[in-house]
Structure 1
Amino acid sequence: MARPAEPPLLPPPLLYLLFITLALFLADWLPLPIPANGWTQALAVLLIVVGQGLSFWAMWRFRKQHTTNSNFNQPRQLLRDGPFAVSRNPINLGDTCGYCAIALLLGSLWPWLLLAPLLYLMNRNVIHPDEVQLQSLFGDTYRDYCRKVRRWL
């Protein structure tokens, strides 16, 4: 049974929540405001709709194909259609869109400064172990998929 070498300490949604919470504390401690206006609010709404739509579409595909969407379980099959034809990690991409939407609505530079470390942790602690597991489970089929579809977008 091929499982990730080290399951993530936190599920991805909690990792995103942790970083937004940290950004809120930092913004309160040392404000670094950025302009917020109607355009940034409209963009935030668009990011929420697109991001959550992508995430729900991917979760629906997992459920429809009777495989897991959890980083803690072994998938039964490799999904390569629907949102998985656009991104190998559509749920994480959707969560990132949501994070960016919240960052726009907060009107603070802190969430943007924390985005790079957040994505680094996502790649290192969540996505890479998943990729190792999927490669060991699906071999050449997964490697071919990786050549055709980007990790994020």
Structure 2
Amino acid sequence: MIHINPTYLQYGATIGMVIMAILAIFIRMKASHRPINVKKIIMPPLGMSTGFLMFIVPEVRIPLLWGLTSFLVGWFIFSYPLIRSTKFEMVDGQIYVQRSRAFFFILLGLLAVRMLLHEVVQQYITIPQTASVFFTLAFGTLLHWRLYMYTQYRKLFPSGTPVSP
């Protein structure tokens, strides 16, 4: 079995996290030019939920209380700025996510807080377990944000999808 130095794993995870944050910013900016629909709202949490397969590997498993705590921190704390910065607008019978200048800074702030927390948590648990804790936190954040978006979308279009002009 190949042994990888934990320091390299940490650097790789940090670089990957920064790349994902930058991608999220660009995707969000690009998405503001296209109408949103239910599929675009619910697909990210569904896609991300496949990450729970990592818990098949014993080294990645964490106690249920740790997982629940990290999920709830994501749900109640990390999702709040995203929810506050997400607004919809209707243009020609279609719903668009309004561009928010604050979104870029919110993502950078969440990234910075996450990186600081990562350094603290990693001192007490293994790197694979740290990954589990922060994945669960990110899933709680994304799920709450997207459920909020879905409820806001349904308020604008209670019958389903908008009609084309």
The TM-score by the shorter chain falls in which range?
0.3 to 0.5
TM-score by length of 1: 0.36
Rg larger in structure: 2
Q: Is the helix fraction higher in 1 or 2? A: 2
TM-score norm. by structure 2 comes to 0.34
